[in-house]
Copies of this chain bind each other. A is one copy, B any other.
């Protein structure tokens, strides 16, 4: 039988990894076409795309025949399909907010897809100001809802929901792929780092990570020159 889902994304973690975390946690199998197919979808005239879109990730749900781009929209859709979005409107809204924060951190860490490269000066400024602030935002979001190093009620609940999965994917992936980041994250958001590592180590997610690393290489995060500049300033 063919898979319900197809994830069109390059063979790197970055934005696509969030979707892989949710699909793996939800017990779904999915297909990933090769990078040539992903590129072809990206550059096709918008009238020829199954859904007019600027950039992958692009998900296809064959069961519902839904095509969807934009990582936050895809996560919200999948979370609602698989019981990972809180029913309470306040917590659902907070979930969307956490996902949007994750998306912003990805943009900042890559200077919006490599529009500029990092140098030591720009990185040091970021690592002393906005990055710790982002970490404090995640840590405080957890703390305000009872997150300790052992668990919590919005981040770190017994059963992870979308807010946990997205948070974990952000910080576990970055600190694994760019090890010198781990010290900064631990300094400013220890409970979030431990939560992230606990979730990354759960069976289905750990298996997905091992498979991705085996297939695509364990060394890549966002790829390209921007990753090279990030590794350089980090001494990674």
Interface on A for B, CB 8 Å cutoff?
Answer: 45-47, 49, 51-54, 64, 66, 68-74, 76-77, 80-81, 89-90, 92-94, 96-97, 99-101, 104, 107, 111-112, 115-116, 130, 133-134, 136-138, 140-141, 144
CB within 8 A of A100: which of B72, B80, B137, B144? B72
The A interface is mostly helix, strand or loop, or mixed, namely helix
Please name the residue on chain B nearest to A132 by beta carbon: B46
A140 CA / B68 CA spacing, docked (Å): 14
A92 to B68, CA, bound (A): 11
User: What residues on B are CB-neighbors of A64 within 8 Å?
Assistant: 89-90
A134: B residues at CB distance < 8 A: 54
Find chain B residues with CB under 8 A from A90 CB.
64, 66
Chain B's nearest CB lies how many Å from the CB of A103? 8
